[in-house]
């Protein structure tokens, strides 16, 4: 299985100068969706995947629909979820999250209609049991926070007064007992947005809804599905709303100046959803009744399903972000600014004589923008469905709205347009066009988490106007830090730590240079690459070539003497993740290299939560959590004993829960060091990349220039490729070898210990895969990631060297990478494919393909 879904969403053209093909870089934007919640659940529950039939979890099934797959998974695990809630709550505590955030509310609350009533009863019963102890502890926590608020600054107090969490005793855990203000807010939200959300979701699932049989909620064939859809959507949004409300977020009522985004949500149909109580929406009948009064404009529907033919054009947009800030839509700006004219002046005399651009301008009369065509009847259509207009070149300047194009691309597609230096001497792009290749991109995108910037003024799924924040960020930060500390305490207390043997070695020690890992007795394999390697002047590269029997090859070989021998090979920061049976083999300070570590964002925890959880602590909360732990009557159920290096570092605990997402065969002896935990490519994504290469260039020789612990190299090998895996760190090579053995592909991977920058020009291969360090965990907090300045080594240099090997290059980059910068790598007249990788509907990474690897 490659991925749940792959599709091309847009074609972006970036023009250097005029609109000629020679000056154009064609950038295909695609999306790949993966679903590995099953593996995550396994990690949470400590189920050994190697003992389970993978098809139970949809692994080998043909999954056409990610959501469907998830639902199946949810249904099959409902009872387990119920039974193991305590252990999950406990784990969430250990992972630095308050228990009420344990798993998304949607995932817990969603049940298919047929089991709705039953599950509701179970839930109630379960709640009775667990509510008492949990609510007590949460109440204590909240009381403590209130204390802090009362002692604190006014801003803190403001946050406390308005926060539902601080005023409601039970609201955090029990949807049926949330305080009235929350329920009222939710009802208002749902009444306002529910209709559009429901319809969007339906349209997204059914590209061309069949309406011959009537409205989906009335039609006998779709009625049930609609009810499920309603239930699922309602609970999903309810969970989201509750979560964000607890964080102090609010939403805006739609005012008269409603932008088209909102209008797009409800294209020409009116929906009336009566106020919904939590009880009523628990039942299927109510689900159906709740949407009885929808009147659908069939004409609007038909219009919406027209094929796409829209191209947005931007002109002379050197700084999209600053332009966005100056958008005429901004109420603070009295005069719309013709940004194009400024640039026009700068490039005086420039005329647009090349091929006419096709353009549609979005109309928003409330924002003072003039419709391009003067017709109003397009206004209610989503932009991707509106009629395309051919525009003469001279019209461009007067009618441009570059800020909207930038905003469109950034918010709809989730792509970042930065101002970073371009590759190959390109100063900037003067023209941009964007054409959607997929119908309903915008609608679909609403259901994806692309980490759009969330300012503390709006609830994240609303795009309304400004409101004041209700929460105090200070409180929240302290609160979360407190959680982090508490979790650390819990970990240290709960899990017996094994004594760690420290390695006496240093990173300067000799290491693997260029050996085939396939042959245990191998000496350096004479190969083209080897010969060339010997010429390098880099002392690291010239490290002595060692035979395989100098390397520890499996956990069982890690005897005392083995450890000592390993110690001479490995740097002092090596941390071995042993399997639970063998325990830890080696650990030391682990400080080095972390600055260059790429940290994969926790796969379930919101980014900002992670960041905040690492800030200063709140002692009150720590105490409360300790109390909670002491008062719990039930004996604790350990999910699985953690390796000591995980147990001793709460930051790693979240990665442990995700171990099967990194390596589904983790329990068979996979080993990682600390950096490995952070930086390995999740298996589903690595598998997908490898399969793409296999399809384009079967049997290719692939250079994995920064192989790390082998996440990608293994998948390339599994896909039938020969892999030359390079890493500067000998520890990584040891681990990569071990992991390749686990997957049975060690004989297809050549390991080279070297600085890729030093040996690149000497390597020969069909494909180069680049997954360099992303410069530390902070990459994700940057608005836009600059591959030149934020990567180490310099991302441009890496690419330039790779081009000397082959044109078929894959660049694995952060999700917030400046797309114009990566596009510039293709050069004028060139092409590139930028693939966004979504794990469980969350944008995680981007994979950029060059050469023959682009899917046309």
Q: Contact residues for ligand SAM (CB under 6 A)? A: 598, 679-681, 706-712, 726-729, 732, 755-757, 771-773, 793
Q: What tokens were used for 80? A: 């387990």
Structure tokens at 348: 């005086």
Give the Cα separation of 688 and 506 in Å (integer): 36
- By C-beta, is 203 or 709 nearer to ligand SAM? 709
Helix ranges (DSSP H) in 328-472: 339-346, 396-399, 402-407, 441-446
CB of 529 to ligand SAM, least distance (A): 14
CA separation, residue 711 to residues 62, 436, 499, 707, 769 (Å): 24, 33, 29, 7, 12
Relative to beta strand 311-315, strand 842-849 is: unpaired
Which single residue brings its beta carbon nearest to ligand SAM?
A: 711
Q: How far is the CB of 150 from ligand SAM (least distance, A)?
A: 46
Nearer to ligand SAM, 67 or 712 (CB): 712
Counting every residue written for the chain, the total comes to 856
> Using CA atoms, how far apart are residues 371 and 393, in angstroms rounded to an integer?
17
∠ CA 599-604-609 to the nearest 5 degrees? 75
Strands 809-814 and 5-15: unpaired
Q: Got the DSSP string for 215-239?
A: -TTTSHHHHHHHHHHHHHHHHHHHH
CB closer to ligand SAM, 696 vs 757: 757
- Write the DSSP symbol of residue 572: T
Cβ proximity to ligand SAM: between 229 and 598 the closer is 598
Residue number with CB closer to ligand SAM (197 or 726) = 726
Smallest gap from Cβ 700 to ligand SAM, in A, equals 17
Residue 185 or residue 597: which is nearer to ligand SAM going by CB?
A: 597
Distance spanning both ends of the chain, measured CA to CA: 21
486, two tokens: 């508490």
CA Rg value for the chain? 28
CA 196 to chain CA centroid, Å, is 25
- The least CB distance from residue 670 to ligand SAM, in Å, is 11
Contact call for residues 100 and 173 (beta carbons, < 8 A): yes
In the numeric block, the tokens 């991302």 are attached to: 795
Query: Which one, 517 or 709, has the nearer CB to ligand SAM?
Result: 709
**To the nearest whole angstrom, how small is the minimum distance from the Cβ of residue 108 to ligand SAM?**
31
CA-based torsion, 287, 288, 294, 299: positive or negative: positive
In whole angstroms, the minimum distance from the beta carbon of 85 to ligand SAM comes to 33
Taking residue 158's Cβ as centre, other Cβ atoms within 10 Å add up to 18
Minimum distance, C-beta of residue 643 to ligand SAM, in the bound complex (Å): 18
Kindly tell me which of 443 and 514 has the beta carbon lying closer to ligand SAM.
Answer: 514
Please report where in the chains the tokens 């390079």 appear, as a residue: 726
- Cα angle 504-506-510, degrees, rounded to a multiple of 5: 115
User: Cβ closer to ligand SAM: 35 or 681?
Assistant: 681
**Smallest gap, in angstroms, from Cβ of residue 779 to ligand SAM?**
11
Closest CA to 599 of 809, 848, 785: 785
CB 675 to ligand SAM: min, Å: 6
Shortest approach of ligand SAM to residue 802 CB, angstroms? 12
Q: Name the residue nearer to ligand SAM (CB basis): 106 or 706.
A: 706
Min separation Cβ 334 and ligand SAM, Å: 48
Minimum CB distance to ligand SAM smaller for 775 or for 828 = 775
Task: Give yes or no for a contact between 318 and 820, defined as CB atoms under 8 angstroms apart.
Answer: no
No. of helices (H) and no. of strands (E), the chain = 33, 14
């Amino acid at each position: 299985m490659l991925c749940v879904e792959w599709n091309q969403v847009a074609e972006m053209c970036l023009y250097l100068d005029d609109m000629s093909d020679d000056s154009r870089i064609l950038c295909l934007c695609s999306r790949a969706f993966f679903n590995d919640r099953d593996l995550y659940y396994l990690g949470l529950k400590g189920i050994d995947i190697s003992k389970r039939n993978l098809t139970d979890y949809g692994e080998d099934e043909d999954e056409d629909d990610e959501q469907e797959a998830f639902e199946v998974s949810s249904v099959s695990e409902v009872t387990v979820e119920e039974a193991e809630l305590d252990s999950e709550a406990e784990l969430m505590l250990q992972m630095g999250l308050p228990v009420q955030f344990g798993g998304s509310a949607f995932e817990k609350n969603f049940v298919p209609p047929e089991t709705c009533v039953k599950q509701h009863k179970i839930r109630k019963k379960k709640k009775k049991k667990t509510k008492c102890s949990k609510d007590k502890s949460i109440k204590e926590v909240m009381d403590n926070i209130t204390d802090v608020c009362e002692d604190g600054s006014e801003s803190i107090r403001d946050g406390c007064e308005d926060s539902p969490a601080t005023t409601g005793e039970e609201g955090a855990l029990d949807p049926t007992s949330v305080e009235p203000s929350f329920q009222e807010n939710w009802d208002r939200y749902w009444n306002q947005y529910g209709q559009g959300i429901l319809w969007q979701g339906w349209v997204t699932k059914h590209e061309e809804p069949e309406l011959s049989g009537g409205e989906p909620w009335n039609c006998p064939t779709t009625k049930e599905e609609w009810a499920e859809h309603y239930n699922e959507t309602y609970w999903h949004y309810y969970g989201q709303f509750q979560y964000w409300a607890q964080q102090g977020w609010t939403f805006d009522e739609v005012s008269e100046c409603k932008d088209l985004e909102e209008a797009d949500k409800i294209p020409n149909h009116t929906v009336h959803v009566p106020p919904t109580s939590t009880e009523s929406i628990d039942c299927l009948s109510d689900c159906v009744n709740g949407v009885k009064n929808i009147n659908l404009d069939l004409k609007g529907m038909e219009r919406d399903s027209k094929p796409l033919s829209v191209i947005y054009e931007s002109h002379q947009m050197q700084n999209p972000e600053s332009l966005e800030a100056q958008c005429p839509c901004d109420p603070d700006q009295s005069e719309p600014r013709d940004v194009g004219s400024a640039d026009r002046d700068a490039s005086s005399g420039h005329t647009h004589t090349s091929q006419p651009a096709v353009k549609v301008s979005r109309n928003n009369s409330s924002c003072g923008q003039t419709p391009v065509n003067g017709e109003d009847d397009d206004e209610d259509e989503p932009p991707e469905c509106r009629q395309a207009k051919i525009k003469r070149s001279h019209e461009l300047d007067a009618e441009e709205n570059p800020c909207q194009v930038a905003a469109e691309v950034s918010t709809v597609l989730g792509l970042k347009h930065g101002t970073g230096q371009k590759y190959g001497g390109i100063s900037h792009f003067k023209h941009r066009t964007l054409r959607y290749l997929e119908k309903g991109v915008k609608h679909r995108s609403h259901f994806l988490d692309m980490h759009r910037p969330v300012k503390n003024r709006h609830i994240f799924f609303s795009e309304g106007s400004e409101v004041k924040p209700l929460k105090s960020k200070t409180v929240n930060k302290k609160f979360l830090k407190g959680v982090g500390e508490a979790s650390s305490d819990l970990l240290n207390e709960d899990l017996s730590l094994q004594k760690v043997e420290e390695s006496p070695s240093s990173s300067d020690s000799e290491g693997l240079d260029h050996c085939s890992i396939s042959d245990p007795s191998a000496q350096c394999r004479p190969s083209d690459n080897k010969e060339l390697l010997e010429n390098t002047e880099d002392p690291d590269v010239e490290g002595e070539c060692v035979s395989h029997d100098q390397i520890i090859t499996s956990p069982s070989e890690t005897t005392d003497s083995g450890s000592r021998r390993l110690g001479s090979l490995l740097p002092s920061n090596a941390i071995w993740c042993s399997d639970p049976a063998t325990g830890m083999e080696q650990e030391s300070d682990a400080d080095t290299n972390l600055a260059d570590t790429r940290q994969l964002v926790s796969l379930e925890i919101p980014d900002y939560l992670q960041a905040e959880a690492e800030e200063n602590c709140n002692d009150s909360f720590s105490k409360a959590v300790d109390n909670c732990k002491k008062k719990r009557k039930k004996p604790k159920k350990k999910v699985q004993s953690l390796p000591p290096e995980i147990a001793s570092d709460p930051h790693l605990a979240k990665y442990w829960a995700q171990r099967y997402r990194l390596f589904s065969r983790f329990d068979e002896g996979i080993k990682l060091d600390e950096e490995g935990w952070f930086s390995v490519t999740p298996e589903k994504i690595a598998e997908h990349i490898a399969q793409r290469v296999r399809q384009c260039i079967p049997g290719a020789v692939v250079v994995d220039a920064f192989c790390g612990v082998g996440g990608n190299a293994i998948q390339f090998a599994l896909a039938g490729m020969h892999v030359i895996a390079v890493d500067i760190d000998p520890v990584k090579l040891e681990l990569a070898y071990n992991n390749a053995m686990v997957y049975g592909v060690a004989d297809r991977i050549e390991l080279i210990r070297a600085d890729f920058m030093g040996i690149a020009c000497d390597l020969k291969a069909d494909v180069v895969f680049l997954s360099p360090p992303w410069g530390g965990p902070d990459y994700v907090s940057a608005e836009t990631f600059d591959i030149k300045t934020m990567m180490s080594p310099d991302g441009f240099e890496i690419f330039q060297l790779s081009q000397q090997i082959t044109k078929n290059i894959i660049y694995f980059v952060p999700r917030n990478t400046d797309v114009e910068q990566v596009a510039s790598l293709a050069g004028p007249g060139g092409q590139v494919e930028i693939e966004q990788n979504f794990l469980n509907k969350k944008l995680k990474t981007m994979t950029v393909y060059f050469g023959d690897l682009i899917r046309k």
